[in-house]
Each structure stands twice: as C-alpha cells, then as structure tokens.
C-alpha cells in the first residue's frame, strides 16, 4: 500500500487546513518531490470527506495518463477528458482534463462537469488555467507547481514628483505620468501559498540528486536583447547560438564531460537544434532531436528511444519541449545551450537531471550552463531560494519604460535640455516643485496667443545632440518634439489650434519657430549633416504630430 512521506503528509494537512479560510491556494513542491501523489492523496481524502467530484487540469496529453496512473494506484477512479471527448459518463470520482478542452466544453455547456467541489491545476505557473475559474465559482481551487513564478510584467503609471501610481496614462502634478512595469506575481491569482521542502532539503532526504555545475561561455551575453516581459528575444538568441564557434563548443564540452552519459540538451531555437543535430551526427554520436519546426520522428517514438535503459549514450536535443511531464529518471547530464531570464524555465530544465533512478547508479548529475543562467538565477539546488517571498513579490524590480531620447524637457532655470524622467535639472540642479492637488491653474497660459509662443532653444538642442553623439536629423526630431511640447505647455486648446490652422496662422508660426533653430543647427560643424531635412518637411512633420495630439487624425 502506498503511503505519503512525512513532508507530503505535512503538505496535505496544511492544504486541508488552508481551505477553511481560502478559496484559492497554491502548493509548491520541487520537481521530484511527489507533487502528483500529494494531490492524488488530497483527491482521495476530499472524495471521502466531501462527497463531491474533482476536476484536475493538465496542459499536456502525457500528463493526463501520468495523473490517472497515480490516482488509480491509491484507488481513485478517473475519467479522461481530451479533445475527442464529447460526452461524459459521470461514473468516476475525478475528471482529468486538458485545459483547452475543459474550457471549450464549459463555454458551450456550463454543466458539462457535475458536482465539482475541487479544481486542481497542475503546473499552475503556466498562465492558461485561470480562465476556467469563472466557470466553477463555487469550487475550491488548488494550484500546484514546482516554480510559483512567472516571467511577465504588469504595466502601470507613476508620477515622478508625488510618486502616486495610476492604472492608465494621465496627468499628475500638472505633468504627464511615466510608464512603469512591475513583476507579475501568482499572489494576484491565489490567496496563499503552502511550500514543501526545497531542492536542497529533498537532496538531503535522498529524493533528488545534486548537480555538479560547469559554467561555459558560449556567447556574448551583452548582445542579447529582451522583450517586454524581460525574456531574451529569439532573434538575439539565434544570432549568438547559431555561430560556428558556439555549436562547436557544445560538442566539445559534451565530449569532454558527458560522453557516454544519457544527455538532454536544451537549445535556443529550432535552427540551433538542427545545427547541433548535424554536428553531433557528423561526429558519430547516438543522437535524436525534437522540436515543433524541423522534420523529426514522432514525439512518442523519440521519448521511447530516450527512455530505453539500454541507450546509455543517447543524446536528445530539444527546444524547451521536455521541461515538464517528461518522466525519464536516468538522465545523467543536462546541457543548457541557451540563456533564459525565466527562473521557472531554468529550474524545470535542470530538474530533468535531478531525479533518482533504479536504472543506473547515479549519485549526481552534470549540468553544463552555456547561457549565464547560474549567474542569473543561482545554483539549481540553492538553499536560500524563498518561494513565499517570490510568490508575494515576484522576481526583479519595478522599471520605468526605456526612455525615448527625444522625450526631453527644458529647465525653467537655465534652459538645459534633459530627460523628462529626471526630477531635477542635471546641469543646474533646479527641481520642479509639484503643484498641490487643490491649487487652481493660473489662467495666463490659457490666454497666450499662438503667435506669442516662444521658439525652442536651438543652442540647447545642439548641446543635447552632441551629448547623445547623434546627427542633425536627431536634432530636427528634438526640435519637432519641443514645438509640440510648447503647444501642450501653453495649453493651446483644440478649438484655438483648429482656428489658427484654418486661417494659415499655424503654418506661419511653426515655420518661424523652425527657421530660428534650423539655420543655427546647420551652421554647427561638429554635427553630421548628411541627408538633412528641408524646412517644409519639418513643418509638415510638426503639424502631423500636433494633429495626432489634438485627435484630428
């Protein structure tokens, strides 16, 4: 008879107790700790006590069969729900469903599942499950994952002066707020977290195997670019990892440290996967690959080949495919031929080598990190990782949106141009004092006629251009932005703007503002003046930007 370990019993007790206060809670247990068995024992206890059914959601087909096998071992009956399932028998204790299938069925029929009192979400850090929660408003929800962290950022806005946060772009303290982002946390979905023993503790309990790490510099990490969520872009990864030297070094390190060992290699893209496959094949190694782009053998065929205990020297190349639900315990080496900013992905990839096994003697496994991931995330078995803090705060800091070099303001005291994100002038130290919320705006600016709006300071634009090491076209872009800012600062109303435009006064005024700076900038010998724009071109561009500001186009 299967019984839970002591730490699993403790987790079960804490989950059960937590449901007395919480509707949605999350259980964290590192890969190899028996997470599936824990929620299987929970399911059995729930059915015995509550007499209601359970819906378990998975995101991959193979996880359905693995979950059902675990539940069956402790006497729980299950009904699988896949894309082929159109009708249910409702004869089992537990439904085990693909998330998309369950969502589609519930959208068509809210009563597709019957008497579901508990919803269990496997690998809940993958943000595809919470869309089902509204379909089952009366059910308790348990999210399960080894890595309760998400590489995603939430956008918000903040005033640079009073620091008030806003949900949308607006004005505060009489100035436009700045765009910021912060880490997304799973505490925004789940009310509380229950944590099991960390990787280091599970190694001490002989439930996992410790890694032996080798850090190899295959690429120039400084050339990697990131997307809006902070992950490295596919294009920049491809450029670095597809080079001849990078591909050769993976092969070299494999032959030096892993040859003859069952090895799993994670590549950055299908392109790199194929390049490395060709190189390993050419060198005569027992290698196969799998990804969603290249022509490969069927997934299950590849898995069966890699699982075969007789294939001790097998090398499997993939692109983040075999990170979860990949039950091969005798992997002796993991090579990360990619960089990732995702702690979750890093731990899932490395964790494939940390499983205990009866197929081969394995008291450790080799980890070759070719992406600076250990520097970024610490060792896989780092004992200091605090999942409760990460659940509440996420990883990373709040960041302001990368500033446009053209987004500048002029110092009221000295006229120096500097980024709008800075609260005071870096040249003279003058700090703009925010107006009290209840202070009425003086009406002088509202009465300023368009003809009296002063032109931008051409000399300051020149100095700013030099500081940025830019050319004359950059100067002209700053000039246009400054003119638009003048109209905003002097609070020219839409009615006044349209009237001036219809009378021809607008074009005359903007042309005059441009001319004063235009010829000064052209006279500067240390600014590159290749392909400079005409006054007519700058006039048209300025008017177009103003039309956009006033919602005329």
Is the separation of the CB atoms in 266 and 338 below 8 Å?
A: yes
Residue 439 predicted with pLDDT over 70 = no
Q: Give tens-digit pLDDT for 506-546.
A: 999 999 999 989 988 888 877 766 666 899 999 999 999 89
Question: From residue 501, how far is each of 487, 488, 494, 514 by CA, in Å?
Answer: 13, 16, 10, 17
Please give the biggest Cα pair distance in the chain: 91
Predicted TM-score (pTM) of this structure: 0.74
Three-state DSSP at 80 gives strand
- The helix/strand/coil state of 179 is strand
pLDDT-based confidence at residue 550 (cuts at 50, 70, 90): confident
Determine the Cα–Cα distance for residues 145 and 147; give it in Å rounded to an integer: 5
Q: How confident is the prediction for the chain on average, in pLDDT?
A: 89
> Coil, strand or helix: which one is 82?
coil
pLDDT confidence band for 59 (50 / 70 / 90): confident
pLDDT in tens, 220-265: 998 999 988 889 999 999 999 999 999 999 999 999 999 999 999 9
Helix axes 234-241, 270-282, angle to 10 degrees: 20
Model pLDDT for residues 164-192, shown as the tens digit of each residue: 899 888 878 766 788 889 999 999 999 99
Structure tokens at 18: 């937590």
- 10-19, 154-163, 213-222, 332-341: which range is least confident on average? 154-163
* Residue 155 contacts residue 179 (beta carbons within 8 Å): yes
Q: Which helix (H) or strand (E) holds 432?
A: none
Q: Tell how many helices (H) and how many strands (E) occur in the chain.
A: 18, 21
What are the start-end ranges of the E strands in 185-332? 192-195, 210-215, 263-267, 287-290, 315-318
pLDDT reading at 444 higher than 80: no
Pick the closest to residue 30 from 145, 186, 185 (CA basis): 145
Between 38 and 423, whose confidence is greater?
A: 38
Are 101 and 81 a contacting pair, CB within 8 Å?
A: yes
pLDDT in tens, 94-112: 999 999 999 999 999 999 9
Proportion of the chain in helix, strand, coil states, percent, rounded to 5: 40, 20, 45
Above 80 in pLDDT, residue 405?
A: no
């Amino acid at each position: 008879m299967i019984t839970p370990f002591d730490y699993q019993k403790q987790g079960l007790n804490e989950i059960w107790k937590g449901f007395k206060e919480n509707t949605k809670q999350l259980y964290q247990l590192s890969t190899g700790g028996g997470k599936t068995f824990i929620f299987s024992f929970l399911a059995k206890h729930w059915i015995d006590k509550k007499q209601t059914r359970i819906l378990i959601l998975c995101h991959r087909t193979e996880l359905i069969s693995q979950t059902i096998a675990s539940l069956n071992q402790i006497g729980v009956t299950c009904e699988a729900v896949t894309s082929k399932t159109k009708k249910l028998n409702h004869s089992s204790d537990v439904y085990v469903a693909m998330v998309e299938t369950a969502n589609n069925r519930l959208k068509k029929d809210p009563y597709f599942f019957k008497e579901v009192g508990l919803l269990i979400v496997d690998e809940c850090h993958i943000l595809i499950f919470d869309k089902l929660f509204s379909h089952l408003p009366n059910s308790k929800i348990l999210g399960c994952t080894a890595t309760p962290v998400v590489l995603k950022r939430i956008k918000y806005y903040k005033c640079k002066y009073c620091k008030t946060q806003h949900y949308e772009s607006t004005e505060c303290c009489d100035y436009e707020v700045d765009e910021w982002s912060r880490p997304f946390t799973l505490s925004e979905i789940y009310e509380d977290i229950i944590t099991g023993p960390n990787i280091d503790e599970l190694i001490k309990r002989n439930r996992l195997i410790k890694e032996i790490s080798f850090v190899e510099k295959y690429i120039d990490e400084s050339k990697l670019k990131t997307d809006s969520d902070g992950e490295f872009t596919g294009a920049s990864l491809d450029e670095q990892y597809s080079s001849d030297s990078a591909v050769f070094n993976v092969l070299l390190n494999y032959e030096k440290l892993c040859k003859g060992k069952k090895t799993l290699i994670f590549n950055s893209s299908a392109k790199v996967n194929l390049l490395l496959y060709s190189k390993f094949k050419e060198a005569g190694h027992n290698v196969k690959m799998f990804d969603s782009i290249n022509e490969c053998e069927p997934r299950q065929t590849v898995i069966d080949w890699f699982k075969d205990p007789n294939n001790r020297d097998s090398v499997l190349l993939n692109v983040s495919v075999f990170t979860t639900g990949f039950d091969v315990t005798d992997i002796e080496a993991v090579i990360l031929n990619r960089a990732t900013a995702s702690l979750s992905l890093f731990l899932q990839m490395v964790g494939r080598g940390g499983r205990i096994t009866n197929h081969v003697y394995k008291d450790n496994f080799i980890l070759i990190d070719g992406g600076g991931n250990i520097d970024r995330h610490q060792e896989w078995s780092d004992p200091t990782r605090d999942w409760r803090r990460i659940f509440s705060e996420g990883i990373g800091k709040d960041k302001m949106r990368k500033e446009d070099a053209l987004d500048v303001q002029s110092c009221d005291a000295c006229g120096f141009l500097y980024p709008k994100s800075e609260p005071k002038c870096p040249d003279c130290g003058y700090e703009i004092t925010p107006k009290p919320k209840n202070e009425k705006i003086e009406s002088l600016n509202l009465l300023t006629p368009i003809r009296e709006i002063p032109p931008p300071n051409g000399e300051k634009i020149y100095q700013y251009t030099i500081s940025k090491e830019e050319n004359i076209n950059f100067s002209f872009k700053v000039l246009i932005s400054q003119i638009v800012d003048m109209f905003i600062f002097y609070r020219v109303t839409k009615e006044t703007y349209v009237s001036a435009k219809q009378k021809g006064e607008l074009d005359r005024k903007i042309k005059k503002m441009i001319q004063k700076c235009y010829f000064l900038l052209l006279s500067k010998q240390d600014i590159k003046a290749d392909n400079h724009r005409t006054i007519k071109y700058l006039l048209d561009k300025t008017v177009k930007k103003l039309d956009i500001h006033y919602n005329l186009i």
